[in-house]
Amino acid sequence: MDQSISRFWEKYIDKSKVYGIKPHVLKWDIRHAETYIKAHKQVRLVTHTPELVEQYLRDKGRNTRQQGWQFKQIIDALKILFVEILLSRTPILKKPETFIIINGLNNLLRMGVRFVSRLEKSQYCT
C-alpha cells in the first residue's frame, strides 16, 4: 500500500478514536468511508460537493434492509472523513463547499439520525 494512503487511514483511525468509536465498530466505519471514496473514484475527494454527499446518503438510505444504526454509521464515517481528514488538509476559507458538507452532516445528526428508524430514514430517501 502506498505510504500516503497508509498515513491517510492511520489518521482516520486516530480521529475515529477521538470520536469514541469502539474498535469493533471502527472496521465498519472504515468500510463505509472506503465505499464512499470508491463510489466516487473519478472525483478527487477535495473537490466533492454537498450535492454529491447528499445524493450518496439518499442512495444509501434507499436500502430497505439497512437498519437505522447502520445509516448512522455511514454518516459518522463521512463526518470523520470530511470534518477531521479533509478539513484538516483543506483550509475552510479556500473550500467553502467543505464547510457546507460538514454543516449538512451535522444537521443530519441533529435531526435525529442517531436514533433513526426505518420510517424516519425514509425522509432521506425521497
Residue 14 has pLDDT above 80, yes or no: yes
CA 8 vs. chain centroid, Å, equals 15
Residue 117 has pLDDT above 80, yes or no: no
Cα–Cα dist 27/12, whole Å:
11
- Share the mean pLDDT of the chain: 76
* pLDDT tens digits, one per residue of 40-87: 999 888 777 777 888 888 888 888 888 888 888 998 898 888 877 776
94 vs 52: which has the higher pLDDT:
52
To the question of pTM greater than 0.75 for the whole model, the response is no
What are the distances in angstroms from CA 121 to CA 11, 67, 112? Answer: 30, 9, 10
Residues 6+ apart with CB under 8 A from 71: 60, 61, 113, 116, 121, 124
Cα–Cα dist 94/61, whole Å:
31
Q: Grid coordinates 473537490 are at which residue?
A: 47
